[in-house]
Amino acid sequence: MKRSLDTILLIAAGLIIWQLLHMAVPYALTSPAGTAVKAWNMLNSATFWPHAAETGKAFLYALLLAIAGGLAIGLGLGLNRTSAEVAEPILVSVYSLPKVTLYPLILLIFGLGVPAKIAFGTLHGIIPIAIFAMNAVRNLAPVHLKTVKVLRLSRTQTLLTVFIPGALPEIVSGLRIGFSLTLLGVLIGEMFASQRGLGYLIMNAIGLHDVPTIMAVIAMLGIAAVLASAFMLWLDHRLHHRAA
């Protein structure tokens, strides 16, 4: 198919650029082939998997918390026009804060360990999900809200049969961004306040100037993120297409 061909071409172009960069600065950047070999070796070593599992677990909890909290905040605020208008600039401000600087605070509250990572991941992901969910509810078609009144639906019926399905496409768009940022949050958390996880592996490798390990971990994370994102994008297109 033409579409998969385009994707392959794009990936090939990316690999060629990567290879050229590697040839320009060989010590700072491992080649694509070298990275693949290193990644394969890591996947086959027993020491790698506990780190991956640790990151995966923290990420899963953080994502669940971010989705639940983000949807509750976003839907709750979006249902009322005034509360949405009050909250929007506040949420946007919080969103744009460099949350790294809050890391000391998180550490002081949660101590070193998994809870701090989860908290940090949630902190990154919850706001974009809330913002998208809130705007999704605010942007529901006014004529649908009128229809709800004409049919004399109860609040619960309205929420379940009009608000949520109507807002779903935008909510999925928010989840896509929330997903990425939650993962970023967990990884940053691991990078400088943990003895386990993929973020720790990267940080440790940076300290040892072990470039192949850095590249291999980032490449594996990148592939996982792209696959997850492609799935959500597919879902997104389906929902938006149906609504178009």
Partner 1 sequence: MNSAALQPAQSAHEPSKDVHAEMRGVTRVYGGDGKTGGVQALAATDLRLRRGEFYSVIGPSGCGKSTLLDVLAGLSRPTTGEVLFEGKSIDGRVPEGTGVVFQEDASFPWLTVADNIAFGLRRAGIDAAEIQRRLDYALKLMGLADFAKSYPSQLSGGMRQRVCIARTLVMQPRIILLDEPFGALDAQTRLIMGDELLKVWRETGATVVLITHALDEAAMLSDRIGIMSARPGKIIEEIKTQWPRDRDSRIAANPAFGEITARLWSVLRDESLKAIHQGNKSSAGLA
Partner 2 sequence: MSRVGWIRLLVVGGFILAIELLCRTGMISPRVLIAPSDMAIRLYRLLLSGQANADIIETLGNVAISLVLSVSGGFAIGAAIHALPRLRRAIDPFLASYYALPFFAFYPLFIVMFGLGRGAVVAIGFLFGVVAMIIATLNGFDRIPRVLVRTAEVYHMGPVAAALRIKLPSAVPYLFTGVKLAIAYCFIGVIAAEFIMASSGLGYAIAYAFNNFDNGKMYALMFFIIVLVTIVNALFYTYERRLMRRWGR
| Rounded least distance, CB 143 to partner 1, Å | 4
Q: Are 199 and 191 in contact (CB under 8 A)?
A: yes
Distance (Å, rounded) from C-alpha 85 to C-alpha 138? 10
Determine the interface stretch with partner 2 among 34-42, 80-88, 147-155, 158-166 (rule: CB under 8 A): 80-88
Q: Per-residue x/- marks for partner 1, 153-182, CB under 8 A?
A: x---x---xx--xx-x--------------
| Rounded least distance, CB 18 to partner 2, Å | 12
Q: Per-residue x/- marks for partner 2, 107-146, CB under 8 A?
A: -xx-------------------------------------
Amino acid at 202: I
Cβ-based nearer residue to partner 1, 93 or 157: 157
Query: What would the two tokens of residue 186 be?
Result: 């967990």
| Rounded least distance, CB 75 to partner 2, Å | 18
**Using the rule CB under 8 A, is 16 a contact of partner 2?**
no
| Rounded least distance, CB 169 to partner 1, Å | 9
**Using the rule CB under 8 A, is 151 a contact of partner 2?**
no
| Rounded least distance, CB 164 to partner 1, Å | 10
Distance (Å, rounded) from C-alpha 192 to C-alpha 95? 22
Q: Are 179 and 134 in contact (CB under 8 A)?
A: no
Residue 152 backbone dihedrals phi, psi, to 5 degrees: 55, 50
| Rounded least distance, CB 156 to partner 1, Å | 10
Q: Are 229 and 182 in contact (CB under 8 A)?
A: no
Residue whose tokens read 């879902």: 235
Q: Would residue 163 be called left, alpha or beta, if left means φ above 0 and alpha means ψ between -120 and 50 degrees?
A: alpha
Among 147, 206, 227, 231, contact with partner 1 (rule: CB under 8 A) = 147
- Give Cα separations from 24 to 20, 28, 61, 100, 211 (angstroms): 6, 9, 41, 32, 15
**Using the rule CB under 8 A, is 93 a contact of partner 1?**
no
| Burial track 99-118 (b if 16+ CB lie within 10 A, e otherwise) | beeebeebbeebeeebebbb
**Using the rule CB under 8 A, is 151 a contact of partner 1?**
yes
Q: Are 62 and 117 in contact (CB under 8 A)?
A: yes
Q: Which residues bind partner 2 (CB under 8 A)?
A: 2-3, 6-7, 9-10, 25, 27-29, 82, 85-86, 89-90, 92-93, 95-105, 108-109, 176-177, 179-181, 183-184, 187-188, 191-192, 199, 202, 206, 209, 211, 214, 217-218, 221-222, 225-226, 228-230, 232-233
